[in-house]
């Protein structure tokens, strides 16, 4: 079997096409909406290879705002935020909502498959909440609630839906105030990366060719700094273990390299893992290929020879018809040019 070569075209901080990865914004605490005046920190996260002495820029609703550090801290106004690190493109916008309601249902601003999801039923100070119940699509969620927080755990796209919380609001002052309030919101769990597509170059595959198998996927715009690992299989058996490269190379393909190839992509923690479809690779025998090519050349040569003969025959027949017509027009006699008549 031919030796196998790793094709390291995917690097940390680069996407599968080699382009620079945009930064991402995270919240701390990781909740939205928030109440007016509550502090929150926004961080502009960059890929590991892009870290260093970078200049940062911040934008709200598309307009530049004051701030040149990696973190934006303090009281933050509602709006869509973006950041820029050095000469990078701006990040995808992340929305921070600010509420004036009695009770709000808080969740992370962006939820992707593989994330550990928590929800919080949150009331304004100086009110307290107790006896909180959570619902999804109007059905009670049986998971235990701790201090008005529900920890759902790792989720996939099926966790998308309308969530509600109901809580008893209590205020202890000169008089005790109690009331029940509800808050709701739709939470969408996005795909972290697309189902991988496997391709093989070149085609057709001939013995001795350099064969490259590529596993392509696309990260969510909000998670472009996520590191992915790739693995390749032939007939269900591992031929290249998990690595950062999305390519598997065979420098000189042999007949035994034929088979059904698949690839798999996962996060470094294995929280999300997806497998491609199957591509069937049949390596052609180099000698047979040469014989077939020679046979094709001979057949083509024969066809060309027959076409030439046909053209010559057609030309000869055309000349004969022309000669016959000229003979009839001259009374059956053909006169040589230059001959004088008496």
Given the DSSP bridges, would you call strands 41-45 and 24-28 parallel, antiparallel or unpaired?
antiparallel
The residue extents of the domains of the chain are 20-99, 101-190, 192-286
Q: Which of 250, 163, 135 is nearest to 200 (CA)?
A: 250
Task: Report pLDDT digits (tens) over 239-268.
Answer: 999 999 999 999 999 999 999 999 999 999
Distance CA 49, CA 69 (A): 18
Residue 218 has what pLDDT? 96
What is the average pLDDT value for the chain, to the nearest integer? 84
Q: Is the pLDDT of residue 330 over 60?
A: no
245-249, 289-293, 337-341: which has the minimum mean pLDDT?
Answer: 337-341
Q: Which CATH architecture has domain 101-190?
A: Sandwich (2.60)
Task: Report pLDDT digits (tens) over 156-196.
Answer: 999 999 999 999 998 877 777 889 999 999 999 999 999 99
Q: Is the pLDDT of residue 322 over 70?
A: no
Distance CA 334, CA 2 (A): 78
Confidence (pTM):
0.73
- Say whether 192-286 and 20-99 share the same fold: yes
Residue 16 has what pLDDT? 45
Q: Which CATH architecture has domain 20-99?
A: Sandwich (2.60)
* Residue 274 pLDDT level (bands cut at 50, 70, 90): very high
Residue 299 has what pLDDT? 65
Q: Is the pLDDT of residue 2 over 50?
A: no
Distance CA 213, CA 225 (A): 24
Name the CATH topology of 192-286.
Answer: Immunoglobulin-like (2.60.40)
Given the DSSP bridges, would you call strands 63-65 and 56-60 parallel, antiparallel or unpaired?
antiparallel
* Residue 325 pLDDT level (bands cut at 50, 70, 90): low
């Amino acid at each position: 079997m031919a030796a196998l070569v790793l094709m390291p075209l995917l690097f940390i901080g680069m996407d599968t096409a080699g382009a620079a990865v945009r930064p991402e914004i995270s919240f701390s605490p990781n909740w939205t909406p928030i109440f007016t005046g509550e502090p929150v920190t926004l961080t502009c996260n960059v890929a590991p290879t892009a870290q260093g002495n970078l200049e940062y820029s911040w934008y709200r609703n598309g307009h530049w705002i004051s701030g040149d550090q990696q973190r934006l801290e303090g009281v933050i106004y509602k709006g869509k935020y973006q950041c820029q690190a050095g000469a990078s493109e701006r990040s995808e916008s992340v929305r921070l909502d600010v509420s004036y309601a009695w009770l709000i249902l808080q969740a992370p601003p962006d939820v992707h498959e593989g994330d550990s999801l928590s929800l919080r039923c949150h009331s304004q100070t100086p009110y307290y909440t107790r006896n909180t119940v959570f619902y999804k699509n109007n059905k009670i969620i049986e998971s235990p609630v701790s201090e008005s927080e529900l920890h759902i755990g790792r989720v996939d796209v099926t966790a998308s839906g309308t969530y509600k919380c109901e809580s008893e609001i209590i205020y202890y002052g000169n008089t005790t105030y109690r009331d029940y309030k509800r808050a709701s919101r739709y939470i969408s769990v996005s795909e972290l990366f697309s189902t991988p597509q496997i391709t093989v170059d070149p085609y057709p595959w001939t013995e001795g060719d350099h064969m490259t198998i590529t596993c392509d996927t696309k990260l969510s715009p909000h998670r472009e700094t996520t590191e992915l690992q790739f693995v390749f299989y032939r007939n269900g058996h591992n031929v290249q273990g998990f690595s950062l490269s999305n390519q598997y190379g065979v420098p000189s393909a042999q007949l035994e390299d034929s088979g059904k190839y698949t690839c798999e992509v996962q996060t470094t923690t294995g929280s999300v893992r997806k497998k491609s479809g199957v591509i069937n690779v049949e390596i052609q025998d180099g000698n047979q290929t040469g014989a077939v090519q020679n046979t094709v050349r001979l057949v083509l040569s024969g066809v060309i020879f027959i076409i030439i003969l046909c053209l010559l025959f057609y030309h000869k027949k055309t000349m004969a018809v022309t000669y016959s017509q000229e003979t009839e027009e001259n009374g059956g006699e053909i006169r040589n040019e230059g001959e004088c008549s008496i």
